[in-house]
Amino acid sequence: MQPRANHISWDECFMRMARVIAERSKDPSTQAGAVVADRNNVVVGLGYNGFPRGVEAESFTWNREGSFLDTKYAYVCHAEENAVYNANNSTQDCKIYCTLFPCNECAKTLIQNGIREIVFESDKYHDVDAFVASRRLFDAAGVAYRQYISDWAESSLPSAAPITFTQPSV
């Protein structure tokens, strides 16, 4: 008997996992997920976007617009950060699968924690400064990044309509 030939790839497996863990997010507008995997394709950490551990979902606003302190941006931890914070082993030389391309703050966290490759699904904020900065950081640090779109996403990706991102003023 021959082994099954139509198994999914590691990229497909981990991106599906990132999409599933994103479903844990209580954010009404954006559900992001991330999976850290080591060289042997062993999961090291999982994360999704949400308030820090111990902070109830109703404690702060989920608004995207308004003054900085009146938006979610002051309080939410991103999926990529949480995947590193939740890691059960070293993230040195690991790769991370993300449903969204990481912002500049997450890029710094990933670089500092030894992540060597970023595999992302959506790049909807490509031209926003925070994400341009991410690419610059990854390039300067020698961190590889590439897009992989899961088979699960093919039918559910948003249209190519532009999305407005408002950077909070600090």
**Residues designated as active site:** 80
The encoded tokens of residue 74 equal: 């002051």
For the CA atoms of 106, 162, 157, 121, what is the dihedral angle to 10 degrees?
-30
Q: Tell whether 7 is in a known binding site.
A: no
Q: Tell whether 103 is in a known binding site.
A: yes
Give residue for tokens 């999982």: 46
Q: Tell whether 106 is in a known binding site.
A: yes
What SS3 string covers 67-114? CHHHCHHHCCECHHHHHHHCCCCCCCCCEEEEEECCCHHHHHHHHHCC
What SS3 string covers 111-169? HHCCCCEEEEEECCCCCCHHHHHHHHHHHHHCCEEEECCCCCCCCCCCCCCCCCCCCCC
From the list 131, 147, 153, the residue with the least C-alpha distance to 22 is 153
| Residue set of the binding site for Zn(2+) | 78, 103, 106
